[in-house]
Structure 1
Amino acid sequence: MHRNKADKSKPYGTYTQPEASKSKTASFDSNIDAKADAYQASLGIKISDFELPAGPGKYCFEIKEDVPANKTPGVTYDETTRYLVITVANNNDLTGYVYYAQLYDSSYSPAASIKDKATGTKVPGDNAFTNTYTANNVVISKDIKGSLSDLAAKFNFTVKLSYANGKTAGQYVGAKVTEYDGETQNVKDHVWAIDNTTEHTISLGRNQSITLTNLPEGVTVTVVETDGGEYIVTKSDDTTGTLENSTITATITGTDGKIGFVNTKEGTPDMGVVLDNAPYIAMLAIVAIGGVALMLNKRRRDEE
């Protein structure tokens, strides 16, 4: 956390915050060394991190989160401003000091005098700053179509996960396989690295799929079908990526994605009549009955 002196909250008295302390980083890893109410108990900072003058007084510090230049993928950082008001008072026996601390949101306004209270909305220490992590899913599916297709066939694929531009592999936890219908290997619950190089092998048949979760925005999923050369490969209508030479490449956005492969094999049967309906069957039956009748008549004449 970064904190400095807020212009609108000058200390009461003549104390001026030293320039060097404006860039000082406050520690948020220990309990606050001050009396506290429900809004103060979990601030997790140390009074010693703030350069305060000797003697009683009220002092205010502007606090912001130190947002990294290269943000963690999928994390939305809380860049709001908070104001920490520290009151220094003599203790009961006048042998030392006691400290009171209160955190306010950006509506904070300092009190008119040291005897008055500041105005603004109090902020609970455990909810002072909230960073949100968002990730999405992608479903890779398979379908088989066509009059001459083998509907029981299995097709092999490689899947590679690449990190977003400007990011590194170390910034990602990895994608988890939550559902897998394939039969080549059991990869359910495995975590796949997002590292631009590792290729994972899967096998999918008709109406089978694999689901990958925990994919932050910007990750690219590249899926290559490595066999099925006798089939025409297309993508499903709901596919979010682009298809080129049996390869679908999709970049994760703010919503869940779908990558669907469709293999189709059509052909012309080597037969004159397609026997797939009643009229043709009836015609053949009539011909067969007529043939039997002619044969019986010929035998009868021969016997006479």
Structure 2
Amino acid sequence: MKLKKLFAGVVAAAMIATMAFPAFAATEGLGSKGFTVENNKSFEFDKVWVTNDERDSSIVAPGAALTMTVQNNGQPVTYPQGATPASLELKVNSNDTAGKTASFTVDLPNYSVPGKYTYILKENDPNVAGVVANDNLYQVTVWALQDEANTTGGNHIKECGVKLSQVQLVDGGYVEVTGKGKLSSVENTYQAGTVTVTKHVTGNMGDKSTKFSFKVVLESTKPVNSVVAGNKTFEFATTPNVNGKYTAEQTYELADGETWTITNLPFGVTYTVYEMSGTTAVEDQGTLVVAEDGADSKTYKVTYTSQSGSLNEETEGHKIAATVENNCGAEIDTGVILDNAPYILMLAVVAGAAMTLVIKKRREEE
């Protein structure tokens, strides 16, 4: 008898759980963030930054206030009968956190009719250097739930179930992408790399201890929010110049064998290296005159390798190596005759010897 009662209790509990589970499944949403939100309140889903090389700790994503546009074939939302679409606006914004997981905040409207509401979201192009636009489509599904405990009459929406999923447009309708039916985050990719500038001094008159002056100029068609570092952080202009470029520059000095590095340079940002003669940039194959205190000046021929360029997805190891070579050579007057005089002298000696032999032979014949 006790076993029968125990079995009956288990069956009853199973029936209750079976009745309850569909309601939970219908509103299953953002994992650890929970599946219900109070009506007319906000919920969040993560914005996760990934980089083109997670092993490179010098690549740090910038702060970028990402936004999403609600779109659904020109309609803001699909909604149950009786709801008023003008009152169903969904607002999505993100926190601006450099290099870290942040979040999108979704503000729910005040639902007055129970039912299922779906919103299609697409991230707007952030227009920030190095940040890849996320072109995926996302769907926020909201179940506005009737508060059955409230018996005062009329609709009483207290809680809403929410779910974020990635979708694609198929035959005019939105279909969940396999494996993307329940998401807790949206990824954004940041791409950057490193440029190194190395100095070489060559030639028999080249002074390897001399510090030569350089300037590097960075230009971007998009605003640069990244922390790009050389010997200090580059300070980019917040407004474009007359050429539509956002620019920054730094000066530094290098002697032979020394290297200067630009880190966290976003893809697409152009760098240009100049060796400086005072305030004048020396062009490739140009000359640089260095005046030394109490001594004659030296003239160097300047040769650049990878003087200007930008990183992209095809850049090997997301690294560019630029070099600047200064060559100073001279012919040394050692007192040794280095032209064709020795050969003329040798010919004269041979000719003289030949004439001596001829004269001697004639005298012997006489």
**TM-score bracket relative to the smaller structure:** 0.5 to 0.7
Corresponding pairs, count: 220
Contact 2:192 2:311 in 1 (8 A): no
**For 2:160, which of 99, 105, 113 is the aligned residue?**
99
1:100-155 CA-partner distances (Å, limit 9, x unpaired): 1112211699xxxxxxxx99632323x1x222122222111100111222222221
Which consecutive residues of structure 1, in runs of 5 or more, have no partner in the other structure? 31-41, 110-117, 178-186, 242-249, 275-304
**For 1:257, which of 320, 323, 330 is the aligned residue?**
320
Q: Judging changes above 3 Å, is the alpha-carbon distance between structure 1 residues 212 and 27 closer, same or farther for their aligned structure 2 residues?
A: same
Query: What's the counterpart of residue 270 of structure 2?
Result: 220
Contact 1:3 1:62 in 2 (8 A): yes
Q: CA deviation at 1:199?
A: 4.9
1:51-87 CA-partner distances (Å, limit 9, x unpaired): 74x332222111112335xx11111121211111211
Q: Judging changes above 3 Å, is the alpha-carbon distance between structure 1 residues 151 and 5 closer, same or farther for their aligned structure 2 residues?
A: closer
Q: Distance in 2 between matches of 1:123 and 1:141?
A: 50
The 5 A counterparts of 1:142-153 are 142-153=199-210
Establish whether residue 175 from structure 1 lines up as the match of residue 190 from structure 2. no
Q: Judging changes above 3 Å, is the alpha-carbon distance between structure 1 residues 261 and 14 closer, same or farther for their aligned structure 2 residues?
A: same
Query: What's the counterpart of residue 57 of structure 1?
Result: 115
Q: Residue type of the partner of 2:142?
A: I
Q: Judging changes above 3 Å, is the alpha-carbon distance between structure 1 residues 28 and 221 closer, same or farther for their aligned structure 2 residues?
A: closer
Q: Distance in 2 between matches of 1:43 and 1:199?
A: 34
Contact 1:6 1:60 in 2 (8 A): no
**For 2:220, which of 146, 154, 164 is the aligned residue?**
164
Across the aligned residues of Structure 1 and Structure 2, the Cα RMSD in angstroms comes to 3.5
Q: Distance in 2 between matches of 1:213 and 1:102?
A: 39
Query: What's the counterpart of residue 52 of structure 2?
Result: none
Q: CA deviation at 1:93?
A: 1.1
Q: Residue type of the partner of 2:301?
A: I
Establish whether residue 2 from structure 1 lines up as the match of residue 65 from structure 2. no
Q: Residue type of the partner of 1:4?
A: Q
**For 2:329, which of 251, 259, 266 is the aligned residue?**
266
Q: Judging changes above 3 Å, is the alpha-carbon distance between structure 1 residues 122 and 43 closer, same or farther for their aligned structure 2 residues?
A: farther
Q: Residue type of the partner of 1:233?
A: V
Q: CA deviation at 1:46?
A: 3.0
The two structures have a TM-score, normalised by structure 2, of 0.51
More strand per residue: 2
Q: Residue type of the partner of 1:240?
A: S
Q: Judging changes above 3 Å, is the alpha-carbon distance between structure 1 residues 119 and 86 closer, same or farther for their aligned structure 2 residues?
A: farther
Establish whether residue 81 from structure 1 lines up as the match of residue 137 from structure 2. yes
Query: What's the counterpart of residue 14 of structure 1?
Result: 81
The 5 A counterparts of 1:101-250 are 101-106=162-167, 121-125=180-184, 127=185, 129-161=186-218, 163-165=219-221, 167-168=222-223, 171-177=224-230, 187=231, 190-195=232-237, 199-227=249-277, 228-229=288-289, 230-235=299-304, 239-241=305-307, 250=308
Q: Judging changes above 3 Å, is the alpha-carbon distance between structure 1 residues 105 and 9 closer, same or farther for their aligned structure 2 residues?
A: farther
Q: Distance in 1 between matches of 2:200 and 2:161?
A: 66
Q: Distance in 2 between matches of 1:56 and 1:132?
A: 38
Q: CA deviation at 1:252?
A: 1.6
Which consecutive residues of structure 2, in runs of 5 or more, have no partner in the other structure? 1-67, 96-102, 171-175, 238-245, 278-287, 290-298, 338-366
Identity among equivalent pairs (%): 25
